Structure 1
Amino acid sequence: MSTHDPDHLRRRARTLRTLATTIESTPAMALDAHAGSDTWRTPRADLCRWILSTNQAQVHRAAEELRWDAHRLERRAAEIELERAALGGVS
């Protein structure tokens, strides 16, 4: 498939959005609900909670990057279609 095929770009965009949703829906993203100070109270527990929070934030940022990339692919697909229309449908 070519990067000049709007349908292919849109399929890739859908795949990226699905991946973003999937990684944000993993059980690891809900661990913070079970990691409160009422569960475990030590300096190591504080460190683990901080690391968990940091890692979850990184996952959310990665998912947002995937969504942004999907948006860019869809925008490029639309641009290609406009260019083709301006040229009278020439590929």
Structure 2
Amino acid sequence: MDTPQAYVWRLQNFVLGEHIPTPSTDKQTHVKACTISACGNFAILGTEGGWIERFILQSGISRGSYVDIAKSQSCAHDGEVHGIENKGKDDTENI
């Protein structure tokens, strides 16, 4: 992925989905990692700038971003996000 947004595939019609999730960072950086929640309702995206954000797949609406409160940072990670893990136990993502 080398774009500042992620594209969703619509299996029903075998076409790109109408909603294109785009992380809402101050500085647009490319999406480098993604996962889908166990329930299938959310996509979680990570960028090369360390930003991690969750989106509703059906609407493309952002449902929040992750930050590192311990370090008082505005993003979740120092540097590029290489992978995102979803444990799937409930709708809580482990990043």
TM-score when normalising by structure 1: 0.18
Higher strand share: 2
TM-score when normalising by structure 2: 0.17
Q: Which structure's CA Rg is the greater one?
A: 1
Higher helix share: 1
